[in-house]
Amino acid sequence: MLENLKVTFLIVFPFLAYMTLGFFFKRIGAVTDEFAGQINRFLANVLLPVNIFNSLYNKDLTTAFRNPAALYSAAGTLLLTFLLMKLVPLWEKDPAKQSSMVHCGFRSNSMLFALPIANGIFGYEVPEIVIVLVTVVLINNIEAVPLMEYYRNRTPAWAERREKSSFSVKGMLLGWLKTPLLMGLVAGVLWSLLRIPMPAPGAGVISGLSGTVIPLAFMVLGARLDFGHLKANRRNVLLTVLIKLVAAPALFLIWPIAAGWSQEGIVAVLAGFGAPSAVIAYAMAEYYECDADMAGEIISLSSALSMITIFLWIFGMKQFGLIS
């Protein structure tokens, strides 16, 4: 048991350290909210797409695409969204708050948070896990836009202006196509499937940029931890975080464990469903005029508590022999 504790701690510690450093730098004034926001946008628009591309372009994806974990995680993400849309209105009636709870409840920081954790477990990048996580990212991006439109149109403030605006399917499709994460995903998959050679200098630059993602992203997460409105939204925030970090991974791990999946498949499902809420949910809540403050609280609390829950998930799996 002590050995499993040690190994689990060594996996989680670097990410906890990066977040702690970001939190510390913010408190001493070395990092401002504006600077953290700019870095976060740079991560979302440049570094994360490059990181996804780097994870895919030089891999043999032909066997990974046949892995059942990808299809299972895609169906599970859609099912989780459906369950949240049915359950959340039972304890929250405001559509603006419902949108943030549902969005933060199903949308994970998969590539930013879960992939490095998975890599830390095995000591190398597993193509099957990469495919599962990019599948989750793809589903998240596809369903997020119509879902936020649905909740915005149900808010009283938006209903008064509904006549002056219209929902454009063309605009939604263009929005999807312009999403940087999706562009990096599609480019990486096509590059791999077409077996396009990458010159060594180009590969070095891509690898170098990808290497900055993890420390920078986790320090930004730490710098942006903010619990200023937690008291007002305490019940909603805690329920959403509990679903995100505990209930969802527990539910969707039942079948892989019972069916005797490989440790790579089990870790892929844990990574897809056990990661904290995605930072982009805050920006989308602001854009769609929903409760961005509560979205920020859910993201902050889930990011902080995920250090504990991920540690416990990995330790428990090691104790029961599910991962070596």
pLDDT value at residue 164: 47
Percent of the chain with pLDDT over 90: 23
Map residue 123 onto helix, strand or coil: coil
Closest CA to 81 of 98, 63, 58: 98
Reported as a single tens digit per residue, the pLDDT across 241-265 is: 999 999 999 999 999 999 999 898 9
The predicted model scores a pTM of 0.81
Phi and psi at residue 305, in whole multiples of 5°?
-75, -20
- Banded pLDDT at 1 (limits 50, 70, 90): low
Phi and psi at residue 94, in whole multiples of 5°?
-80, 115
Q: Domains for the chain: give ranges and CATH numbers.
A: 2-319 (1.20.1530.20)
On whether the CB atoms of residues 56 and 189 are closer than 8 A, the answer is yes
DSSP letter (8 states) at residue 108: B
92 φψ region: left (φ > 0), alpha (ψ -120 to 50), beta (else):
beta
Phi and psi at residue 277, in whole multiples of 5°?
-65, 145
In residues, how long is the chain?
324
Q: In this structure, what token pair is assigned to residue 40?
A: 């976060």
Half-sphere exposure of 101 (CA within 13 A, CB side): 27
Q: What is the mean pLDDT of the chain?
A: 83
